[in-house]
Amino acid sequence: MKVSVIVPVYGVEKYIETCARSLMAQTYRDVEFIFVNDGTKDRSMEILSGVIDPERTVKIINKENAGLPQARLTGLQNASGDYILFVDSDDWIEPDMVEQLVKAVSASNADMAYARVINETARGTYISRDPSINNCRQAAKAILYFRMHGYLCNKLIRRSLFTPELFYPTISMHEDLVLSCQALYSGGKCVELDKPLYHYRKTDGASLSQMKKAKRDADSARNFLQLYEFWKGKDGSPIKADIPYIMVRCAWLAWKNDRSIFKEYPYLADMARKVPLSAKLGVKFHRQIILKLVLGRV
């Protein structure tokens, strides 16, 4: 079984060596490593070239800067593996991560296997755990509702699930969540690997200004609204049943962070306003945003 490991590279000269060394040290051998140079202006590619093992299969793809989602898409378009693993270039993985995930999917012919994530923060490390799910469609739903991490980086996913018919986001906020919930929707079995294998270098949340957080939340709303517009009226939509949730969540994020979104997407306020209050929706801010919309503050 061949695995394609896709690594977008941009502005990571401080971290790329650690990442690349962890990849070159993988115990599983049938791997192609695809490094996508997203027009980085620092020494990332120079440092990377000094770490690459000539005995491993490595592809270097150079492109103009277009952001993380497009770099990932470029990697996908050049991948030939049966399964895909995405790795962020400022992170690193355990030496047997690929081998462990391959064993997990091979044992049950699963479309996806996922491992636990070790969060590396300025205050120390902690391990995050997702719910135990054995069906890809259930995993897609859990990701969409933020009940399961939407990380692509801790999941080995069958490449055939990344079809050209999917919406490939262009905004770099929750783009992995938007893509994974679509790809997994058409999958079958998935397997939880109860082992921490991926080291996620996490920005200290306290260092983020409110302005940056507001922009990130607003970009998340735009990503989900673009996802809705892409699938609107199409057969086989993976989000058809979840449109009420998406509208309420996006309306809330727009209200809190960037109300110009209501002008960009004129239907948003009206669609959110029409969503009946329901415990099944699972949106804790539903009642508050509906009240604001009904009062005509948008």
pLDDT category of residue 86 using cuts at 50, 70 and 90: very high
- Of 183, 156, 188, 151, give the one whose Cα is nearest residue 168: 183
pLDDT category of residue 256 using cuts at 50, 70 and 90: confident
pLDDT category of residue 218 using cuts at 50, 70 and 90: very high
The C-alpha atoms of residue 171 and residue 178 are separated, in whole angstroms, by 10
Those residues whose C-beta lies under 8 Å from the C-beta of residue 212, and which sit 6 or more positions away, are none
The C-alpha atoms of residue 91 and residue 86 are separated, in whole angstroms, by 11
Residue 172 has pLDDT above 90, yes or no: no
Residue 202 has pLDDT above 90, yes or no: no
pLDDT of residue 205: 47
pLDDT category of residue 208 using cuts at 50, 70 and 90: very low
Query: What superfamily would CATH give domain 3-201?
Result: Spore Coat Polysaccharide Biosynthesis Protein SpsA; Chain A (3.90.550.10)
Q: What is the mean pLDDT of residues 38-49?
A: 96
For residue 217, what is the DSSP state? H
pLDDT of residue 204: 46
Average pLDDT of the chain, as a whole number: 91
CATH 3.90.550.10 location in the chain: 3-201
Percent of the chain topping pLDDT 90: 79
Residue 33 has pLDDT above 90, yes or no: yes
pLDDT digits (tens, 9 = 90+) for 149-169: 999 999 999 999 999 999 999
pLDDT of residue 123: 87
Q: What is the mean pLDDT of residues 290-297?
A: 60
Residue 206 has pLDDT above 50, yes or no: no
The C-alpha atoms of residue 298 and residue 292 are separated, in whole angstroms, by 7
Those residues whose C-beta lies under 8 Å from the C-beta of residue 97, and which sit 6 or more positions away, are 26, 85, 115, 197, 198
pLDDT of residue 55: 96
pLDDT digits (tens, 9 = 90+) for 221-240: 999 999 999 999 999 999 99
- Token couple for 42: 């620092």
Q: Is 105 left (phi over 0), alpha (psi -120 to 50) or beta?
A: alpha
The C-alpha atoms of residue 58 and residue 5 are separated, in whole angstroms, by 10
Burial tier of 255 (Cβ tally within 10 Å: 0-12, 13-18, 19+): buried
pLDDT of residue 275: 81
pLDDT category of residue 142 using cuts at 50, 70 and 90: very high
Question: Could you tell me if 71 and 38 are in contact, meaning their C-beta atoms sit under 8 angstroms apart?
Answer: yes
pLDDT of residue 293: 63
C-alpha distances out from residue 106 to 16, 110, 111, 113, 210, Å: 30, 7, 9, 10, 45
